[in-house]
């Protein structure tokens, strides 16, 4: 994937592409959350959509710094939200839902496709930010892109975990799950 990836030289152009990617992620996760039947998958996508909005806000702030509209603010670098992990979502869902474990594991044919699309988006974003960080000349831009790459990797790992859970809940509980 990363061999064919175009990374612009100018950080402003990198951020414009990043905004497009995050917007696509937001739209995909919002639509996916409307169609997915699995409760856990739905909550994961809703949370990812919120994270994409947070990324968009932070990317715009860095863009404004690069174009001279704003000064650097350390809070721009890090998200103030709790990280998206499968365990965080699952624990919250476990506390809120009064449904059976069988219902938790139920999913439709399209659910797997929605989650696979999300996995692909996060994987692409992870590589884009990591590769962009390698090329960045400005230390602050490099740090910001590295942080985004780490956040996207967390999203990717959480989605892989939910995909495994949805595919075989009994096996997931037997190998990783804590009830």
Burial 2-25 (b: 16+ CB within 10 A, else e): eeeeebeeebeebbebbeebbeeb
Spatial separation of the C-alpha atoms in residues 51 and 26, rounded to whole Å: 8
Section 83-92 average pLDDT: 55
Name the residue with tokens 């699309």. Answer: 117
The H or E element spanning position 125 is helix 109-135
Look at residue 49 and tell me if it is in a domain.
yes
Look at residue 18 and tell me if it is in a domain.
yes
pLDDT in tens, 142-162: 999 999 999 999 999 989 988
Look at residue 64 and tell me if it is in a domain.
yes
Look at residue 5 and tell me if it is in a domain.
no
Look at residue 165 and tell me if it is in a domain.
yes
Domain extent, residue 87, equals: 10-75+83-173
Q: What's the CATH code of the domain at 163?
A: 1.20.1260.10
Higher pLDDT pick, 58 / 110: 58
Look at residue 54 and tell me if it is in a domain.
yes
Look at residue 43 and tell me if it is in a domain.
yes
Counted residue by residue, the chain has a size of: 179
Does position 86 have pLDDT exceeding 90, yes or no? Answer: no
Does position 99 have pLDDT exceeding 90, yes or no? Answer: no
Highest mean pLDDT among 41-50, 53-62, 153-162: 53-62
Domains: count for the chain = 1
pLDDT in tens, 119-150: 999 999 999 999 999 999 999 999 999 999 99
pLDDT of residue 169: 79
pLDDT > 70 fraction of the chain, expressed in percent and rounded:
77
Other Cβ atoms closer than 10 A to 135 = 14
Look at residue 3 and tell me if it is in a domain.
no
């Amino acid at each position: 994937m990363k061999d064919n990836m175009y990374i612009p030289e100018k950080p402003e152009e990198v951020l414009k592409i990043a905004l497009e990617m995050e917007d696509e992620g937001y739209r995909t996760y919002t639509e996916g959350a409307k169609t997915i039947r699995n409760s856990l998958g739905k909550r994961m996508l809703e949370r990812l959509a919120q994270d994409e909005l947070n990324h968009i806000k932070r990317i715009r702030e860095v863009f404004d710094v690069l174009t001279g509209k704003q000064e650097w603010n350390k809070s721009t670098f890090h998200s103030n939200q709790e990280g998206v992990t499968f365990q965080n979502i699952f624990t919250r869902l476990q506390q809120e839902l009064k449904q059976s474990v069988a219902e938790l594991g139920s999913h439709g044919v399209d659910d797997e496709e929605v989650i696979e699309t999300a996995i692909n988006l996060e994987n692409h974003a992870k590589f884009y930010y990591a590769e962009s960080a390698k090329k960045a000349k400005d230390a602050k831009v490099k740090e910001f892109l590295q942080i985004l790459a780490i956040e996207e990797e967390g999203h990717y790992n959480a989605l892989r975990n939910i995909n495994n859970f949805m595919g075989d809940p009994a096996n997931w509980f037997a190998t990783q799950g804590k009830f």
